[in-house]
Structure 1
Amino acid sequence: MWCDIGVNLFSNQFDSDRVAVIERAALAGVTQLLLIGSDIDESRQNITFCQQHHSCFSTAGVHPHQAANVKPDWLIQLQTLSKQAEVVAIGECGLDFNRDFSSREQQQHVFAEQLQLARQSNKPIYLHERDAFTTQLAMLKEQQISHGVAHCFTGDVLQLKAYLELGLYIGITGWVCDERRGETLQHALRYIPSDRLLLETDAPYLLPRTMQPKPKSRRNEPAYLPVIAQMVAQLTGHTMDELATLTWQNSQRLFGFQPGLSTTYA
């Protein structure tokens, strides 16, 4: 069994076949999905979907791209969502200084609030970072964050070791399958301890370039997680069975998945 810890299921690319996507995943052995909440509305959509599909769980948070768009009561809404049984992590949150869709000051404010919420709720933080590693690491240390995952990690060995020293898990996507830009990640992968490794598609993005034949849609899906796993197994020396077992156990340990929950905490 596989667990995909990163699925953007409410991307408009899945509007026509959302349920079929999770059915195809199950047929491929990907039996548990973590849906990514990038803003309040998407987090709420995820939760409703998870209540109807018990193989799915969700994060709840505000992506740095959305930080400039939060409403005055966004944090109160997020606190409420974080109490839902289907929500197993706070995020996707962090800093993105590559595109700066939100001001850096606003990004840092919204990120800091979510770090505090993660600590208060005792839920792992689900991290995004692009071209902002130094600032993000400083904020994680300031808030004493030690419970969470670096989602879609693409950094180098030094960045990897800094996250590992905090106690974080590392999420590996199809980026590792990219012969053009994945070389740094392929090297860093060898330094990830077996008990900190997680796999994710980040679907519908980052279709593995090693996949043959490629779907005509060029859209990534959770069903393609084993393609990523094949590359990770090749680079780490694990068998596919070993990798499935250890990444499944890691996902259960970090997120505390409890299949079948569909109620709200009081």
Structure 2
Amino acid sequence: MHNHMRKLALLYLVGMVALGLLALVWAMGTGSSQAQQGTMHNCPQPGRWAISVWEGEETETAEALDTCGAGAVDAAYYIHPFTQTWRVFFKGRPAISNLDTLDDLQAVVTLGSPTASPMPTAEPTPTPGPGPGRMVGCPMASKWAMSVWNGPNGANAADAFATCSEVIAVAYWLDPQTQTWQRYVHDRPELTTLSRLDNLQGVFAIGLAAPTEYCGINIPGTYHGAVTIDGQTAPAGTVIKVFRGGIEFGSTTVSEEGTYMVDIPSPAP
């Protein structure tokens, strides 16, 4: 009798352990599935354009776009910030698509399928990002990029763009409802219509060109060269004067061969 009871207790214990292991495996599987999920923010309306932002782990583009609704996005475009070449995704056209995956906080220009069900007319206010926040995917000087604000809602656009290492010269955001562009122009508030950014808002931005540096005249010195006027050799005797800062440093005349040479004294006047 006692042996029988011990066997029953042992079987009960083994059964409980097995159930516990099954529950653990199920929980781990569920957690892994949830961790791999992500969200496409600012999905396009049917037949309209938007700048959408993927939030999640690196995911195949088709799978990421389907979080807007299965087949709801017909096309997506992304400009490479270094090569300045476009990568594209076309629904059901893998042969001509080369935008294979999307990374976390990657912005893309999207086109909604005209046959898709309409999205809610009012986008919910995004969950605020970390403070003070920063721009992700900032452009290089003189190059375009798809940049994303990762920070508090209603952030001042100029302050947000200032988190980039390069100065953002111009940034554009497309209103998904009205299909009109809003713009930010560096140090030109009278031209700026994009004054605030919400969390996970994507923009099309270009970095400010590096200032051109010109070689200044090394005065004093000797200078020479050929002179033409309207493509023709300058007549002999044409006067050549050297100025810097409105001050005349020297003068000479063109020779018979259409050349000149002038010596700037030391010290200069």
| Fold conserved between structures, TM > 0.5 | no
Q: TM-score range by the shorter chain?
A: under 0.3
Which structure exhibits the higher relative contact order, with contacts defined as CA atoms closer than 8 Å and separated by 6 or more residues?
A: 1
More helix by share: 1
Structure with the bigger percentage of strand: 2
